[in-house]
């Protein structure tokens, strides 16, 4: 599915790209690469609320897997879009504290 998503993305068919990536995530929920790509596509489509929702779930999953630096990078992409979201800020602070940075 990720290969299909890549083909759609090259053609700039972002809706089809999203559909393929979401299908990949349904098959393998811990496919963090596809989930990160979904966030990027949503940003390109200016679907901020969906981007924040998907990103929050991804950052939480990464945090639970102890992938703190990766979770922090996701959150740093989300915070400019939702600067007053205390939940995102809290999770971001936790990633910084737990990773020592």
Q: pLDDT 10s per residue in the chain (101 long)?
A: 666 776 667 778 889 999 999 999 999 999 999 999 999 999 999 999 999 999 999 999 999 999 999 999 999 999 999 999 999 999 999 999 976 65
pLDDT of 1: 64
pLDDT of 8: 67
Distance CA 34, CA 56 (A): 15
Instruction: Return the structure tokens found at 45.
Output: 């489509």
- 55 and 97 inside one domain: yes
Coil, helix or strand at residue 1 = coil
Task: Name residues whose C-beta falls within 8 Å of residue 49's C-beta, 6 or more positions apart in sequence.
Answer: none
- 17 and 63 inside one domain: no
pLDDT of 61: 96
Structural domain of 22: 1-46
- 56 and 91 inside one domain: yes
- 32 and 76 inside one domain: no
What's this model's pTM, rounded to 2 decimal places?
0.86
The number of domains in the chain is: 2
pLDDT of 13: 84
Least Cα distance to 54 among 68, 44, 43 occurs for 43
CB 99 within 8 A of CB 91: no
Instruction: Return the structure tokens found at 11.
Output: 């053609």
């Amino acid at each position: 599915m990720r290969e299909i998503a890549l083909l759609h993305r090259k053609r700039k068919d972002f809706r089809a790209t999203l559909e393929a990536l979401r299908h990949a995530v349904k098959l393998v929920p811990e496919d963090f690469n596809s989930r990160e790509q979904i966030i990027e596509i949503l940003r390109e489509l200016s679907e901020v609320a969906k981007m924040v929702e998907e990103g929050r779930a991804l950052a939480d999953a990464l945090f639970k897997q102890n992938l703190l630096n990766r979770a922090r990078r996701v959150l740093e992409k989300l915070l400019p879009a939702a600067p007053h979201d205390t939940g995102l800020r809290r999770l971001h602070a936790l990633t910084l504290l737990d990773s020592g940075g």
